[in-house]
Amino acid sequence: MNIKFQLEQAAGVVCKVMYPIPISSFSGRGTEIAVCTLSSIALLKKISNDDIMDKLLIIGRLFSENKGIDQLIHYCTTSHTMKYLILCGKDTNGHYPGDALINLMQFGLDDHHKIIGTRAPYPFIRCHPNLVNKFRQQIKLVDMRGCHNLNKIIETVNSLN
């Protein structure tokens, strides 16, 4: 493990202590559609307070290109009804989990479990490759990165329903 990686891991722990983010997800009443707001906490709160939650299975955030994506894969593949994941909001600078997720869906993993083609600095997935393949086959990713417009997100949800 290199020094840069160890320093970044330590910085991540410090950030969690200094800037805790208590909200990570909200459950909805839908069955097929999930929304990921990446690092956009205000967007997460705005959507969670809207009637669109009746059509969403879950809405959550994603800050990291490794552990976060591992957790996302596990959640999505244990849901037997989920079909769509809408990716919106602002990608986390430095980690770029949105970029990593898009590239995972498009190109998969190399032999070292690294996401192919991403700009994320540590895109190593711990999930078993079979689980990653199941995720890639089961879920249709809707790329709306950069979108913070609630009406456009609602329109997309309604078009998928």
Joined tokens for residue 56? 């969403």
The residue ranges of every structural domain in the chain are 30-160
- pLDDT score recorded for residue 25: 87
Looking only at the bridges linking them, the beta strands covering 140-145 and 56-60 are unpaired
- pLDDT score recorded for residue 82: 96
Model confidence at 19: pLDDT above 80: no
Q: In 40-50, which positions are buried (b, 16+ CB within 10 angstroms) versus exposed (e)?
A: bbebbeebbee
Whole-model pTM?
0.85
Q: What is the mean pLDDT of the chain?
A: 89
Decide if domain 30-160 falls under CATH 3.30.530: no
Q: What is the pLDDT of residues 112-124, one digit of tens each?
A: 999 999 999 999 9
